[in-house]
Amino acid sequence: MPSIEAEPVKTAEEIPSVNIATQSANMEITAKRADLLRELTAAQSVVERKTTIPILSNFLFEAADDRLTITATDLDQSLKTSCAVTVKKPGACTIPARKLYDYIKLLPDGDVSLKLLDNHWVQIRAGRSNTRMVGMARANFPQVPEFPATGEVVLSVASLRGLISKTIFAISSEESRYTLNGALLVLKAESMAMVATDGHRLAHIEKTGETLAGISGEKKTLIPRKALSELQSLLGATEEENLTFAEDDQTLYFRIGGRTLTSRKLTGQFPNYEAVLPRDNNKFVIVRAQDLMGSIQRVAQFADERSGAIKIRLEQNELKLSSSSTDAGESEDSIETPYNYDPIVVGFNSVYLIDFLKAVGGTGEVRLEFKDAQSAGQMRPEDAEDEYKYRYIIMPMRI
């Protein structure tokens, strides 16, 4: 299959100047305030807050055929969305994103009229309100990549939403480790999986029972954290059951209903995560997630602030958690639970443990699996649904 070359994102200097006056000098539309606000809410999170390129602080509005298309970009990612409007005069303009969003939020429900005036000013009328905002030339807005014509894969919204929520917290926030600044999506014909790691812990989840047309073998894609966060918001706000995913050499594309998110790809190779998955953690204990969460949160109050380290001690039918610091004091909690292996004492970062328990929802039971005090521990839901296989690997700390 020939590769699809994406058009590189163009900066303002690279975009050829065109005579916009003939195309969009008098753009004029009327929209329902609720419709407009819904799409602005979806798009505004992509807009760059602190940018040295002023045009990136603007929305691009393009009106034609009784449809308004709104585009936002920070050059790394873009979001294109649309809503039905009455187009009196087709055309395009750019409007300061944050100011427009904040203003539209404050308007009462009803019709909102937008009209492009001379020198890129935009007039906004709603009820008895009449406002003019200073826009910028449409020609300065960078081009965003277009969805490829081939190679798309249809994914379940619910499944992908589940994968992201169980892994996104484990992505590294260290800029220097850029290959860990995203999660790896692994697609097969009958399953989809996602894995994320920051070098100290690893979250891996696989959803079986999928039917992914067009996938043969294994397709691996590294998705940046920022794109995953945006995707998570879009998936949470949609009523669509499926989304369409595609990629080319430089860009990832996600189409959800009438919205399209694009993201620049992360370069580099994701580490071989399968090599660190524990094979022989033969000591285990099963506890209620709610009990474990409560104990960890109490004990963690007295952990060293910098490391967050707490000690887990497993003895006959008992799990003990403890911590101490010279500044705060010391604390110990215990949970009664069946355990019939050799005693073991392991130290872990309490924040990492809490992240996992939040991801599983703090309900049901969780299984903690160990080999020894120096080896990685593994946590997973005990009463997990059969189609979801979720495991969380966490490296021990010396205490």
Return the SS3 of 361.
coil
Greatest Cα-to-Cα distance within the chain, rounded to the nearest angstrom: 82
Q: What is the pLDDT of residue 309?
A: 94
**pLDDT digit string, tens, across residues 272-289:** 999 888 988 999 999 999
Note the pLDDT of residue 387: 79
Q: State the pLDDT at residue 13.
A: 42
Amino acid letter, residue 58: N
Residue showing tokens 């699996």: 369
pLDDT by residue, tens only, the chain of 399 residues: 343 333 444 444 443 433 333 344 589 999 999 999 999 999 999 998 888 899 999 999 999 999 999 999 999 999 999 999 999 999 999 999 999 999 999 999 999 999 999 999 999 999 999 999 999 999 999 999 999 988 899 999 999 999 999 999 999 988 777 778 999 999 999 999 999 999 999 999 999 999 998 888 899 999 999 999 999 999 999 999 999 999 999 999 999 999 999 999 988 889 899 988 898 899 999 999 999 999 999 999 999 988 999 999 999 999 999 999 988 899 999 999 999 999 999 999 999 999 999 999 878 999 999 999 999 999 999 976 667 899 999 999 987
Q: Edge-to-edge, what's the strand order for the sheet holding 377-381?
A: 219-224, 182-188, 191-197, 201-208, 388-394, 377-381, 365-370, 283-288
Element containing residue 122 per DSSP (H, E): strand 121-126
The C-alpha atoms of residue 194 and residue 153 are separated, in whole angstroms, by 16
Report the distance separating Cα 175 and Cα 280, nearest Å.
Answer: 33
DSSP, res 4: P
Domains of the chain: 21-140 (3.10.150.10), 153-274 (3.10.150.10), 278-394 (3.10.150.10)
Question: What is the pLDDT, as a whole number, of residue 11?
Answer: 44
Write the DSSP assignment of 48-75 as a string of letters. Answer: -SS-SSGGGGEEEEEEETTEEEEEEE-S
What digits encode the pLDDT tens for the residues 8-20? 444 444 434 333 3
Residue 268 β-bridge partners: none
C-alpha 171/C-alpha 308 separation (Å) is 18
Claim: this prediction has a pTM higher than 0.85: yes
Q: In sequence order, which residues have a C-beta less than 8 Å from that of residue 132 and are 6 or more positions away? A: 117, 121, 122, 123, 124
Position 24 scores a pLDDT of 40
> Can you list the alpha helix ranges (DSSP code H) found in 222-334?
225-237, 289-300
Query: DSSP assignment of 98-118, as one string?
Result: HHHHHHHHHSPSSEEEEEE-G
Structure-block tokens of residue 29: 């539309």
Up-side HSE of residue 199: CA atoms within 13 Å toward CB?
Answer: 9
Q: Where are the beta strands (DSSP E) in 232-376?
A: 242-247, 251-256, 259-264, 283-288, 309-315, 318-325, 329-336, 344-349, 365-370
Q: What is the pLDDT of residue 12?
A: 41
Per-residue model confidence as pLDDT tens digits over 22-67? 344 589 999 999 999 999 999 999 998 888 899 999 999 999 999 9
